[in-house]
Amino acid sequence: MHNLVHEFARYVTSHDLFIMDGERKNNDIMEICTSRYAILTRCHDESKIRKVFLTSVRAICLKDCMGAKLIENILSSLKHLQVLDLSRCSFLEIPSSIYQLTHLRYIDVSNSAIQALPDQMSFLQNLEALDLSETCVQVLPEFVGTFQKLKYLNLEGCRKLHHLPSKLDIKSLQHLNLSCCPAALQLLESISGFQELRFLDISSCTELQTLPESLSRLTNLEELILSKCTRLKKLPESFGELCFLQFLNVSNCCDLEELPTSLGRLASLEILILSGCSRIQNLPQSFTDIVFLRILDLAGCVDLHMNLGMIPNNNLENLNLDGCRKIYAEPGWTVNFPKLHPKSLQTCDEQIQRLITESQVCPSHNEVEISEELNLPVHDKSEEAMASQSWEHTGNFECTTKVILPKSVSYFLFLKYYKPFSDSLEIKRKHL
C-alpha cells in the first residue's frame, strides 16, 4: 500500500518533481530543468550533476550525499531556493555558500552530523523555519536572534547545546521545541518575548523545578508539553492566564503535587494529560469550569482522590482512569456524560469497571439492593451481623435514599466496601 501511494504521488507531481539516484544508471538529468522540486540521493560524483539544470529548483532534498564540496557546488546554483533539506547528512558543517540563498525559508539539518552553524547564515533574513533537532550543535549563534521572520525553531534532542544568543526576542516565533535540550532553562528566562508562540515543548527537562511567572504572558499559547519534567513540583498560579490553551500534557511529572486553582480559567482547554503524576492527590474545585474538555487522561494517578462527578461532562469523549485506586462515584454518574465513549474505559481497574456497571442503570425509586454476588469476605459472622438489616444513608447520592443489605453482608463490611468510593457517605442503623 505504501509503494502504491508513493508511486501515485510521483505520478501527480511528475512535472514538478525530479528524483535522481547517483548510484543508478541512465538518470535523465535533463528533466530537472523544468522541475521545482528535486530529491538527490547518494550523489557522490560531481560530474553526474549539471548545475545549470538546477536553477529552477525551489525545494531540494539531499539524502546520503557525500562530500561538503559537492553540496556547496549544488547550492551555489540554487539562487531561488526556498526549502533545503539536509537531514541525516554526514558532513559536519553547512556549506558557506548558503549565504547566497537569500530566498531560503526552511532549513532542516535534523539528525545530521552538523556541529556548528556558519556565520554566513546571518544573511538568511527570510528564514521562517529552522530544524536542528538531534544534532550536536553546541552554540546557537547570536544572528539567530535577528531572524525576525522565524516561526518554527526545533532544538529537540540538542543535548550538547549550552549557549544561546544574549538576545533572542523573535516576536514572530510560533513553534518552539526544547524537548531533551539542557538549554531550555536558559531560554525560559526570556520566554515572554515570544508573544506569538502557539506551541511549546519543554518535555524531559529534568532540571526544571518551577515554571517562570513570565510564561503566563504567552497568551496565544495553544499547546504546552511538560511531560517527564521529573523535578517539576508545581505550576504557577498565573497559569490560568493562558486563556487560549487547548492541549496540556504534564504526564510523568512524578514530583508534581498539585495543580493551581486557576486551572479552571483555562476555558479553551480540550485535552489534559496527567498520566503518571503519582503524587497528585486532589484536583482544584475550579476543575469543573473546564467545560470544553474532550480528553482526560488520569492513568497512574494512584493517590488522586476524586469524585467522578466533578469532571466536566458536557463534551468529554475519552476518559482514562487506569490505576486510579481512590476514585469514587455516585450511582448513575455515566448518564451525565452524553459523549463519553464506553471503549475509553475498558482498560480501567476492576473497581472502576464496577462503578461503570453499577451506573448503567440509575434507579428511579428510593431503594437499591446490594447484590449477594459481591463475594465480600465476612469477618463478622455474628447473628446480629448476619441478620437481615436495612440501612438509611445521609450521603450525597442523587438517585437513592435507602440501601438494603443482603443477609450475608454486615454493616461493617458495607462501610469497608463503600468507603473508597465516597468520603461523604454516612450510614446510620435503622432498626426494623
Closest residue by Cα to residue 18 from 47, 45, 58, 70: 58
| H or E stretch at 62 | strand 59-63
Residue 116: predicted pLDDT: 92
| Same domain membership, residue 381 and residue 349 | no
What pairing do the DSSP bridges indicate for beta strands 427-430 and 389-393?
antiparallel
From 65-74, 134-143, 259-268, 305-314, the region with the lowest mean pLDDT:
65-74
pLDDT beyond 90 at 336: no
CB neighbour class for 128 (10 Å; exposed up to 12, middle 13-18, buried from 19): middle
Q: Which three cell numbers stand for residue 60?
A: 531540494
Tens digits of residue pLDDT in 191-201: 888 999 999 99
Shared-domain flag, residues 352 and 224: yes
Of residues 24 and 342, which shows the higher confidence score? 342
Q: Is 143 inside any structural domain?
A: no
pLDDT level of residue 12 (50, 70, 90 thresholds):
very low
pLDDT band at 67 (very low <50, low <70, confident <90, very high): low
In a domain, 30, yes or no: no
DSSP class per residue in 275-288: TT-TT-----GGGG
Query: 186 lies in a domain?
Result: no
Q: How far apart are CA 34 and CA 55, in angstroms?
A: 9
Handedness of CA 193, 194, 195, 199 (dihedral sign): negative
Instruction: Decide if 326 is inside a domain.
Output: yes
Q: Which domain holds residue 399?
A: 367-430
Shared domain check, 383 and 351: no
Confidence (pLDDT) at 95: 84
Inside any domain, residue 232: yes
Number of domains in the chain: 2
* Mean pLDDT score, 244-260: 96
| Band (241; pLDDT cuts 50, 70, 90) | very high
Pick from 340, 362, 384: which residue ends a domain?
362
Read off the pLDDT of residues 177-223 as tens digits, 9 standing for 90 and up.
999 999 999 888 888 889 999 999 999 999 999 999 889 999 999 99
Residue 92 is predicted with a pLDDT of: 83
The residue that leads in pLDDT, 33 or 11, is 33
Tell whether 419 and 279 lie within a shared domain.
Answer: no
Q: DSSP string of 2-26? A: HHHHHHHHHHHTTTTEEEEETTSS-
Q: Are residues 278 and 402 in the same domain?
A: no
Residue 276 above 90 pLDDT? Answer: yes
Q: Over 60: is that where the pLDDT of 388 sits?
A: no
* CATH number of residue 242's parent domain: 3.80.10.10
- Asked if pLDDT for residue 348 goes beyond 80, the answer is no
Is residue 333 domain-shared with residue 208, that is, in the same domain? Answer: yes
In this model, does residue 266 exceed pLDDT 90?
A: yes
Do 371 and 336 share a structural domain? no
Window from 138-142, 381-385, 417-421 with minimum mean pLDDT: 417-421
Mean of the per-residue pLDDT values of the chain: 77
**Same domain flag for 242 and 227:** yes
**pLDDT score for 193:** 83
Indicate the burial class of 15 (C-beta count within 10 angstroms; 0-12, 13-18, 19 or more). Answer: exposed
Return d(Cα 150, Cα 124) in angstroms, integer. Answer: 10
Q: Which of 362, 396, 420 is the last residue of a domain?
A: 362
User: Do 328 and 423 lie in a common domain?
Assistant: no
Residue 288 shares a structural domain with residue 244: yes
Residue 327 lies in a domain: yes
**Co-location of 392 and 293 in the same domain:** no
Q: Residue 277 has which C-alpha cell?
A: 503524576
Give the tens place of pLDDT for each residue, 13-60.
455 777 777 666 555 454 445 678 888 877 765 655 554 467 788 998
Question: Who wins on pLDDT, 341 or 3?
Answer: 341
Would 227 be classed as within a structural domain? yes
Element (H, E) at 251: none
Query: In this predicted structure, what is the pLDDT of residue 255?
Result: 96
Instruction: Single out the residue in 341, 362, 383 at which a domain terminates.
Output: 362
Q: Residue 429 contacts by C-beta under 8 Å, 6 or more apart in sequence?
A: 389, 391, 411
Map residue 94 onto helix, strand or coil: coil
The owner of cell 529552477 is: 56
Q: Are residues 237 and 287 in the same domain?
A: yes
Alpha-carbon torsion (122, 123, 129, 135), positive or negative: negative
CA separation, residue 202 to residues 69, 96, 262, 390 (Å): 37, 32, 21, 56
In a domain, 253, yes or no: yes
88-143: per-residue pLDDT in tens?
Answer: 888 888 888 888 899 999 999 999 999 999 999 999 999 999 999 999 999 999 99
